[in-house]
Structure 1
Amino acid sequence: MRRPSVRRITALAAAGLLFTGLAACGSDDGGDAGGTDGKASSLVIYSGRNEKLVKPLLDELEKAIGTKVEVRYGDSAELAAQILEEGDRTKAGLFFSQDAGALGALSKEGVLQKLPRATLDKVDKAYRGSGGDWVGLSGRVRVLAYNPDKVPGNKLPGSVLDLVGPEWKNKVGFAPTNASFQAFVTGMRVLKGDDATRTWLKGLKDNGARSYANNLAVLEAVDSGEISLGMINHYYWYEQIAEKGEDKVTAKLHFLPGKDPGALINVAGAGVLEGTGQSEAAHKALDFLLSKRAQTYFAAETKEYPLAAGVTSPVKDLPPLESLDSPDIDLGRLESLQQTLAMLREQGLV
């Protein structure tokens, strides 16, 4: 693995992404996960996905690939920065990211292996790295949750860009510190440019949009009628339906049309690290995560979209992925989080 540029690490650190335990983790002698022939005795996974969510699946993975698996959990961006800082010393053989942006950052630095065509072809090209070095494992779409008692279905906005209009003054909720919102803003920057995105963020604030701690809080505010609509990921609503029953949830979902920036589909995904001697186990692990068993697990447990070809979601009334009118975007370009955070700070939103 080549060493990343000092400039790149400094940029990530400036964005507040370096893991506080960086030095300690980087110097950990750990187990014998290294080697030069790709046949290490164990596989180390750096996981940006929550331990409570994925540990049962990763326990299955260990049995499926026949190799001891060690998992280090943390924030995806922090772990990506840690891998770049560690360089050739990294213990990670597989990076399992919560979002495409962190994978894009590693791809940009050339620290991920090119994946076999057989692996890449399991996932639509829209949901994998353009450099062929990472694949999406599960998807989530940005939607508008709305309260039908406050907003009739025929009065819903046609675009997230409309939310700065006077008809939505003091009626909109969002979670500016949430990683998914920040990824969406990054996507808007890629699609519409920095000037247009900055203007939209200012308009959102000036229009009295209400800030919440997370997506669930936004959904609950919509459900109670505190606000008329809010920007969230789709699965929060489906989780609430599964937990409470549809008759107990007032809020509804609006999937935006016309390849709108507000209909961004982001992914959780994974890539194999270069030069760690864990290639064989890491590739087996990636294939397991794209298996029907693992893909169905993601769909059932998180209500995300399975991304491997031939696997469908068991979630009732979830629109098929191919029916969504999401924007055309290279998800790897969501790596410019530093600039997004700077823009949000500039507008006083974080």
Structure 2
Amino acid sequence: MRNRSTPTRRQFLVAGTMVGTTALAGCSAFSSGNSEKPTLSDFRGSSPLVQDRPDPGGTSIDDLPDLSGTLTLYIGGGEGGLYQQLANLLQQYYDDFSVNVRFSAANQVLTEGKNGQVRADVFWANDAGSLGVVDDAGLTASLSSKITKQVPNRFHTNTWVGVGGRARAIPYNTKQFSKSDIPDTISEFTDTSNLDAKMGWAPTYPAFQTFVTAMRILQGEQKTKAWLKGMKNRGKGGMEQYKDEWFVSNAVADGDIGAGIANHYYAVRVISSRQDAPLDIAFTKGDAGALVDVAGAEVMKGTDKPDLANNFVRHLLSAEAQEFLATWSFAYPMIDGVKPVEQLPPLSKLHPPDLDLTKLANVQPTIDLLRQTGVLD
């Protein structure tokens, strides 16, 4: 199995375009020098995929209590830059509100908790597993029902709430396949008679390891091991390995592979930057391949600003904030009034497995399994 961690020239140029676009956005709408109150256009992304969207529904920021005071926000996960941009927009919206942002993983929060020195008022994590680890340590406070009632039950507890969803998906090359060619379950991909294609994955990437963790919980270690071996040894040279799922999706668009395994938004980001790319996504049903994980937020138990912290989390579920997450990161919004980009089916049409998302934090057995099967070195 080759590790396709080095980008092609075309992928490098596309990546540079995406980074450049984000950087330019950060220098305009998100600049600290912009004294005007942000409008919906500032919250909405600039991708060609989000043009002509209807105004979002749900509760507007204007209908929420004002944010006032200084909030310490810990952000964990790979989307931290975008999350900080949203926090900056909210800071610009209110004259008397400021945010101190620290990029910190759950382990740092746990370390501070053991020392009795948690400095954060709110922890905003990229996945439910990290939220669960902090919650299990007894470091979180109950959220107001005004917050949690807006989100489907599977995407919140009484101490954390999802603010943006990401679905596991199958990006595929439309010159090679149609959507009807893509199997309905992840287990079918080990048999090349179900999809006669070279495929790609990113086993070192955290999202992939979370997905395998879900499979291990749902189907047990032995069936998961068999699936990993079957995928590794499938026909046409097995699986191509990439360093992350954005590269997987680009490889599908380039025709280097016929299909892959990735979070949905990586393929959407490729489509956004390469609109003529022969790329689409399909979703499996009811198994780990259909997992929908969430980024979410929780209020820290030790905060001396519980009202401000709860109000901030409530703002993350406002119409404007959900529009930001749907159109900048292409996440699935968590409230009914905001739609995903039109390239995606609504969240209600997906078929995720019945799974406690907080259990996904325990990835070490998954890493051990990936090494046992030779998927990881």
TM-score normalised by the chain length of structure 2: 0.75
Q: Aligned match of 1:52 in 62, 81, 99?
A: 81
Q: Relative to structure 1, is the Cα distance of residues 170 and 322 closer, same or farther in structure 2, using a 3 angstrom cutoff?
A: closer
Mapped contact 1:163–1:172 kept (Cα < 8 A): no
**Superposed displacement of residue 98, structure 1:** 0.6
2:261 match: secondary structure: strand
Aligned-residue CA RMSD (Å)? 2.1
Q: Which runs of 5+ in 1 are unaligned?
A: 1-38
Identity of aligned residues (%): 35
| Structure 2 partner of 1:255 | 283
Q: Relative to structure 1, is the Cα distance of residues 289 and 152 closer, same or farther in structure 2, using a 3 angstrom cutoff?
A: closer
| Structure 1 partner of 2:99 | 69
TM-score normalised by the chain length of structure 1: 0.81
Please state if 1:202 is matched with 2:232. no
Equivalent residue pairs, number:
302
**Superposed displacement of residue 346, structure 1:** 2.4
More deviation, 232-241/147-156: 147-156
Q: Relative to structure 1, is the Cα distance of residues 203 and 322 closer, same or farther in structure 2, using a 3 angstrom cutoff?
A: same
Please state if 1:312 is matched with 2:339. yes
Could you list the structure 1 runs, at least 4 aligned residues long, displaced by more than 4 angstroms after superposition: none
User: How is 1:33-48 mapped onto 2 (pairs within 5 angstroms)?
Assistant: 42-48=70-76
| Structure 1 partner of 2:146 | 118
Please state if 1:139 is matched with 2:165. yes
Taking the aligned partners of 1:347 and 1:171, their CA distance within structure 2 comes to 19
**Superposed displacement of residue 342, structure 1:** 2.1
Mapped contact 2:316–2:322 kept (Cα < 8 A): yes
| Structure 2 partner of 1:157 | 183
| Structure 1 partner of 2:25 | none
**Superposed displacement of residue 52, structure 1:** 3.0
1:159-217 Cα shifts (integer Å, max 9, x gaps): 11112224357711101111211111111112112221122112222221121111111
**Superposed displacement of residue 41, structure 1:** 5.4
Amino acid at match of 2:164: S
| Structure 2 partner of 1:226 | 256
Q: Relative to structure 1, is the Cα distance of residues 99 and 148 closer, same or farther in structure 2, using a 3 angstrom cutoff?
A: same
Mapped contact 1:170–1:210 kept (Cα < 8 A): no
2:184 match: secondary structure: coil
Taking the aligned partners of 1:45 and 1:342, their CA distance within structure 2 comes to 33
Mapped contact 1:142–1:262 kept (Cα < 8 A): yes
Taking the aligned partners of 2:111 and 2:81, their CA distance within structure 1 comes to 27
Mapped contact 2:250–2:267 kept (Cα < 8 A): no
| Structure 1 partner of 2:45 | none
Taking the aligned partners of 2:150 and 2:181, their CA distance within structure 1 comes to 39
1:312 match: secondary structure: coil
1:306 match: secondary structure: coil
Q: Which runs of 5+ in 2 are unaligned?
A: 1-66
Please state if 1:183 is matched with 2:210. yes
